[in-house]
């Protein structure tokens, strides 16, 4: 008799999330190697995987909810954070899953996104399924965007930026931003901070990647000088997390 195939583990934790406190993490993509619309130079999942920009169901809602229910630390957690082996909005059922979690519990639900799909009407109109969204911004120009985030060929920086602007206007929850500093975008931190200021986020996370190739990393002194450009925005840097 063939052995029963165990469903892939897509729920883990607890994690300590600066936006939700003690939380369960849910990966609605569940792919190894990753399936993402970007291939960031600092990606902790490495550079292999499928590049895509079409939304689809990767993991059924029921499986996500079942694994959240089985998570042994679930009762101690006050939040559920969607972050994945690819941009969580690639999962077309992420909104229904978020709503079901909120119907079944008092947990706050958040999502971390690379913003590649934020401008799509079917994504924008559903954003309020979340309490918190964290949007990634690692560039201020098309050239740096291509160098750092290495997006799917159909995605341009101007599309990403207008998606962030539209999300800022239409989303009613806590709107947060995340900037990751690498050698390739160090020169653009002044411009990136200007865009962040324009978006007026409720909070900004400044991140230094730990697991990427050292050639992309900056020194402590360079990071401190870069973070000073964000001084007038409510920020938390990685060292504070
Ligand atoms: S968006 Fe996230 S998952 Fe996708 S390549 Fe970048 S860091 Fe990796």
Distance CA 29, CA 42 (A): 19
Please, are residues 105 and 48 in contact by the beta-carbon 8 Å criterion? no
Which residues approach ligand 1 with their CB closer than 6 A? 34, 36, 38-40, 43, 45, 86-87, 114
Atom 5 (ligand 1): residue with closest C-alpha?
Answer: 39
Interval 68-113: pLDDT, tens: 999 988 888 999 999 989 999 999 999 999 999 999 999 999 999 9
Q: What tokens does 145 get?
A: 């965007």
Interval 166-205: pLDDT, tens: 999 999 999 999 999 999 999 999 999 999 999 999 999 9
Burial class (CB in 10 A: 0-12, 13-18, 19+), 123: buried
Question: The whole model's pTM is what?
Answer: 0.94
Ligand 1 atom closest to the Cα of residue 85 is 3
Please, are residues 82 and 28 in contact by the beta-carbon 8 Å criterion? yes
Give the domain ranges of the chain. Answer: 11-240
**CATH homologous superfamily for 11-240?**
Aldolase class I (3.20.20.70)
pLDDT number for residue 8: 73
Please, are residues 20 and 176 in contact by the beta-carbon 8 Å criterion? no
DSSP-derived 3-state class of residue 57:
coil
Ligand 1 atom closest to the Cα of residue 136 is 1
DSSP-derived 3-state class of residue 183:
helix
- How far is the centre of ligand 1, averaged over its atoms, from the C-alpha of 36 (Å)? 6
Q: Residue 56: which of 4, 102, 7, 91 has the closest Cα?
A: 91
CA 135, 141, 143, 149: dihedral to nearest 10 degrees?
Answer: -10
Atom 3 (ligand 1): residue with closest C-alpha?
Answer: 86
Atom 8 (ligand 1): residue with closest C-alpha?
Answer: 43
Question: In this structure, what DSSP letter does residue 205 have?
Answer: E
Q: Is the peptide bond before 33 cis (omega within 30 degrees of 0)?
A: yes
- How far is the centre of ligand 1, averaged over its atoms, from the C-alpha of 3 (Å)? 34
pLDDT number for residue 164: 98
Distance CA 235, CA 240 (A): 10
Q: 94-104 and 61-70 are packed helices; what angle lies between their axes, rounded to 10 degrees?
A: 40
Question: What's the CA angle centered on 70, arms 10 and 123, to 5 degrees?
Answer: 45
Residue 55 exposure: Cα atoms within 13 Å on the Cβ side = 15
């Amino acid at each position: 008799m063939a052995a029963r195939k165990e469903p892939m583990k897509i729920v883990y934790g607890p994690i300590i999330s600066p936006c939700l406190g003690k939380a369960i993490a849910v990966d609605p993509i569940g792919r190894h190697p990753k399936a993402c619309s970007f291939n960031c130079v600092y990606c902790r999942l490495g550079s292999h995987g499928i590049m895509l920009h079409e939304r689809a169901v990767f993991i059924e809602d029921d499986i996500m909810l079942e694994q959240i229910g089985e998570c042994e630390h679930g009762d101690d957690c006050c939040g559920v954070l969607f972050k994945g082996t690819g941009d969580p909005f690639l999962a077309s059922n992420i909104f229904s899953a978020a709503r079901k979690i909120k119907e079944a519990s008092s947990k706050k639900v958040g999502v971390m996104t690379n913003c590649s799909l934020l401008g799509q009407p079917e994504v924008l109109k559903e954003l309020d399924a979340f309490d918190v969204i964290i949007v990634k911004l690692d560039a201020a120009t098309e050239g740096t965007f291509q160098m750092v985030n290495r997006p799917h060929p159909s995605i341009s920086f101007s599309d990403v930026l207008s998606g962030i602007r539209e999300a800022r206007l239409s989303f009613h929850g806590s709107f947060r931003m995340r900037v990751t500093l690498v050698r390739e975008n160090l020169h653009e931190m002044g411009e990136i901070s200007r865009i962040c200021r324009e978006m007026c986020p409720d909070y900004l996370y400044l991140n230094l990647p730990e697991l990427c190739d050292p050639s992309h990393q900056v020194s402590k002194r360079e990071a401190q000088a870069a973070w000073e450009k964000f001084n007038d925005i409510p920020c938390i840097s990685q060292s504070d997390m």
